[in-house]
Amino acid sequence: MSACYTCDLIQQRDAGAAPLWDCIYRAQFWDLVHSYNTALPGWLVLVSRRHIAAIDEMTDDEAVELGRLLHRVSVALKGVTKCTKSYVVQFAEASNHRHVHFHVIPRMDDQPEEYKGPNIFKYLGVPLENRVSEADMNQIAAEIQRTLLEM
């Protein structure tokens, strides 16, 4: 395992050893995955396939592809989860995830007020028993993947 867990996960995808939820869609510069430690179904993450620590390190091509993917993923997420809109957030500050990645988070119509805006992160990093199951992540991943491929 390297110092960057995100890079380790990319290597798994490259080797064809990732489950569907961790390999929903692979573009030239970005991978789309379902967050593995969330209680919110449909919490997606666009991950740079190249290790970069800050947005200003992106190439023009990476930035253009990201913009298109953010739009397409948001459309797919709305179609699959029936969310009102999606939040997009990027920090790359976690000790083992200092690798540019963008959270694309469904904001549901019935979202409790205490989980809106930045408080959406209360759904992340939850105990294992509160996380979205692997079966549910795979089902969402299959629907998102199918939607993206049809666009």
Question: Could you give the C-alpha distances from 37 to 22, 57, 61, 122, 124, in angstroms and in order?
Answer: 12, 27, 30, 11, 6
Provide the β-strand partners of residue 30: 48
DSSP result, 105-140 = EEE-TT--GGGSGGGGGGGBS--GGGSPPHHHHHHH
CATH, range 5-150: 3.30.428.10
pLDDT on residue 63: 98
Ranges of the chain with pLDDT below 50 = none
The domain spans of the chain are 5-150
Task: Give the global pTM.
Answer: 0.95
